[in-house]
Amino acid sequence: MGENILYVAVLLLSLYGCVELIRLIALRLLQTDTGVSSVLVFPISGSCKNMEYIVRAAVSRSRWKPDFKCRILLLDTGMDEHTRKLAEKICRDFENVHISTSKECEKLLTSL
């Protein structure tokens, strides 16, 4: 009985590996020379308790997709001191996360 469970587990894992291999090959074949760059803007005002989770999830998603170049802007629309310190720490941890004001964000979006 234990051998059958082990065989099924190995079969499922090898099937998953084959599917991932096909997905990687398809992504490499369909990949363009210029990756699509995007800007995610998160407006933050007051105290945002789940800001760190939201930003880390966005960074994680951008890392899993190799052709998805993402820049994350934390738009300061009146965040409190504790949230500001947390945002600055996140900006030091990740190179594609930046804090900006509404004027800086407007300049950046018009330059794209």
Quote the pLDDT of residue 109: 75
d(CA 59, CA 48): 18
Same domain, 57 and 87: yes
What's the token pair of residue 90? 């996140």
Q: What interhelical angle do 81-93 and 51-64 show, nearest 10?
A: 20
Q: Are residues 63 and 12 in the same domain?
A: no
To the question of pTM greater than 0.85 for the whole model, the response is no
Domain total of the chain: 2
Residue 9 has a pLDDT of: 95
**What is the per-residue pLDDT for 43?**
85
Domain span at residue 3 reads 1-31
Residues 54 and 97 in one domain: yes
Question: Which of the four pLDDT bands, split at 50, 70 and 90, describes residue 17?
Answer: very high
Instruction: Give the pLDDT score at 60.
Output: 81
Token pair of 14 as six digits: 């090898």
